[in-house]
Amino acid sequence: MGSEIDLQDLMARYQQGDREAATALVSRLSPQLHRFFLVKVVSRRYADDLLQETWMRIHEVRHTYRRGEPVLPWLYAIARHIRVDHYRRAIRSEGRERAMAVGYDTREAAPAGAARTPDLEALLGTLPESQREVIALLKVSGMSLEEVARATSSSVGSVKQKAHRGYKKLRELLIEMGLGTREIGGLP
């Protein structure tokens, strides 16, 4: 992906109006931001929308980035706020729509073989939001504990605790499903 120093340099150049730096940032960071959103939302379409909205917001507030600071925590804090805003709008909208659609279930049925191999989104969906967010940032986005702490406005200890509890819950779920043992690759 490139080093943090490279990202800091690109961000500094982007702040000065360098289009090539902006393009490089978007192409390098969009895949991991998109994965971050896919873990959190129901559909790829919403993840696409959130990604686009995040880059628009980054463009608007790029002047707030402090040179020399890590780029990823700053960027993920913005992405996180976009996701929360989207969630709040969806809840308000859902309340209005629910009254009109009582009795209708538009969810698709799961394919026959899907029960044996759960997808990441389904597993993470069983966790409380705070644990799901920390695990997504650590494991899906590849951020360090310190970066996740900055992005979530938490302490490193709090991030460790949420991750540990989330891993424990995921391990228990996989064992219940008959897909794992007490030692699951990479999960403490």
Tell me the per-residue pLDDT of 143-156, one tens digit each, with 9 for 90 and over.
889 888 888 888 99
Outline which parts of the chain fall under CATH 1.10.1740.10. 1-104
CATH number of the domain located at residue range(s) 1-104 in this protein = 1.10.1740.10
Name the pLDDT band for 4 (thresholds 50, 70, 90).
Answer: confident
Q: What is the pLDDT of residue 97?
A: 57
Class of CATH domain 113-188: mainly alpha
Q: What is the pTM of this model?
A: 0.57
Helix residue spans in 110-178 (DSSP H)? 120-125, 129-135, 145-152, 156-176
C-alpha torsion sign, points 111, 116, 119, 123: positive
Please check the confidence at residue 44 and state whether its pLDDT lies above 70.
yes
Q: Provide the β-strand partners of residue 4.
A: none
HSE, side-chain direction, 13 A CA sphere, residue 119: 10
Outline which parts of the chain fall under CATH 1.10.10.10. 113-188
Q: What is the pLDDT of residue 93?
A: 64
Q: What percent of the chain is predicted at pLDDT more than 90?
A: 37
Q: What is the pLDDT of residue 181?
A: 63
For the chain, how many residues are written?
A: 188
Answer whether 5's CB lies under 8 Å from 12's CB.
no
Token pair of 94 as six digits: 């859902």
Please check the confidence at residue 9 and state whether its pLDDT lies above 70.
yes
Please check the confidence at residue 117 and state whether its pLDDT lies above 70.
no
Among residues 167, 168, 146, the alpha carbon closest in space to that of 157 is found at: 146
Answer whether 16's CB lies under 8 Å from 10's CB.
no
Q: What percent of the chain is predicted at pLDDT more than 70?
A: 78
Name the pLDDT band for 185 (thresholds 50, 70, 90).
Answer: very low
